A and B are shown apart, each in its own frame.
Chain A
């Protein structure tokens, strides 16, 4: 089946330091997967952070970046300098074009140390 793996349930980073949240995926049924990062800030609903639909391309939003790497089947989320306002839970997800049924990772909680 198809799956998305986020190995870290929680990541703690000092303010102004760099961040990487790992995401790998596996699919046997989707020929051209679309990849997404969603975020849930405290007290808010899930919202799309960024998406990439073409292998080799990079998506970016709010200082975050993720590159769709088909060779390593990865879509890691990175940020050069985190802020306290980035504290949230981040979810990686996989979808198929117009079908748009998403397969989700288990989420990574980001804690920022002052």
Chain B
């Protein structure tokens, strides 16, 4: 069974640039999560979906961050105008509702 895949694995930007992260969850998992993990901290949930619907995006900085999952499978997280404070690893996870989350390898973002 293929795991959760993410791309790119690394990204380096200047402040003000845009970046998109892509996630392909495990086939059949209807719940998809995006986390931000700053260095030396635990993951912090940004948004999660059940199928194509956003269930909770209360922690997503809506002025610059957006996330979509249009067909209930793959998902894209986009940062419109990156800031140095966005430097972190961005993790995608998927699951069946109420069950173990399976994580991708993450995208390490550095904003200069």
Contacts and interface: CB of A to CB of B under 8 A. Distances in A.
Contact of B95 (A9, A91, A100): A100
A71 interface: no
Contacts of B3: 45
Interface residues of B, number: 24
Interface in B1-51: 3-4, 31, 40-45, 48
Q: Chain A: interface residue count, which band?
A: 20 to 34
Interface in B66-112: 91, 93, 95, 97-106
B58 to A, nearest CB: 10
A101 interface: yes
A100 to B, nearest CB: 5
B97 to A, nearest CB: 6
29 contacts: A9-B40, A44-B105, A45-B3, A45-B91, A45-B102, A45-B103, A45-B104, A45-B105, A45-B106, A46-B93, A47-B102, A47-B103, A48-B101, A51-B100, A91-B43, A97-B98, A98-B97, A98-B98, A99-B98, A100-B95, A100-B97, A100-B99, A101-B45, A101-B48, A102-B101, A105-B42, A106-B40, A106-B42, A107-B42
